[in-house]
Amino acid sequence: MIAESGATLGTLESWLHDVSANPPQGYSVAASGSSVDAAHRHAQAMGLQFQVFSHQDNGKNRELIVVVLDPSTFEEKAGPVLSLIDKYDMLPKSLRDPIDAQAKARTGFTVSQALDPAQPIGAALAAARTLRDSGQRGVVLVDAVKN
């Protein structure tokens, strides 16, 4: 789900901080610590901020990823990489496989997963493209089941 907003990124980040401090009933913040803090600082430099919430649903762990995004900053910082990613599917599988392996080792997910809208990271990137095209800041919600 994508909700466009005319609010400033600072306002959206404050809203996300408030939601993180008081998660919706039944949800908790999924992770915290120095590595998460570093990820938040890196994300903020890219024009986005995020929080991962979790809860149990019929015995399965569900995660809700909430991302606030300023598409102009994101485009400025990640635009060249996004352009390369957009062309990734044109590469033969023999070239994609080693790139996927290296990306997975460095980031925890493959480029193929990042491009697959059925995957949480792929859904977030697809939403970022939608916001980039609209020019509006926004909030992106990605609901995922963790197996």
Residue numbers of the domain that contains 120: 2-146
Count the neighbouring beta carbons within 10 Å of the beta carbon of residue 97.
Answer: 13
Provide DSSP, 37-83.
HHHHHHHHHTTEEEEEEEEEETTEEEEEEEEEE-HHHHHHHHHHHHH
Please list the residues that pair with 4 across neighbouring strands: 138
Closest CA to 70 of 16, 143, 144: 16
Closest CA to 141 of 19, 26, 8, 38: 19
Number of domain units in the chain: 1
So what's the pLDDT on residue 146?
Answer: 56
8 A C-beta contact, residue 43 and residue 49: yes
Instruction: Kindly give, in sequence order, each residue whose CB lies less than 8 Å from that of residue 32, ignoring residues fewer than 6 positions away.
Output: none
So what's the pLDDT on residue 110?
Answer: 82
So what's the pLDDT on residue 147?
Answer: 52
Per-residue pLDDT of the chain (147 residues; tens, 9 = 90+): 677 788 888 888 899 989 999 998 889 888 766 767 777 777 788 788 888 888 888 888 888 888 888 878 877 877 777 777 778 888 999 999 998 898 888 777 788 887 887 766 677 777 777 777 777 787 777 776 655
The answer to pTM > 0.75 is: no
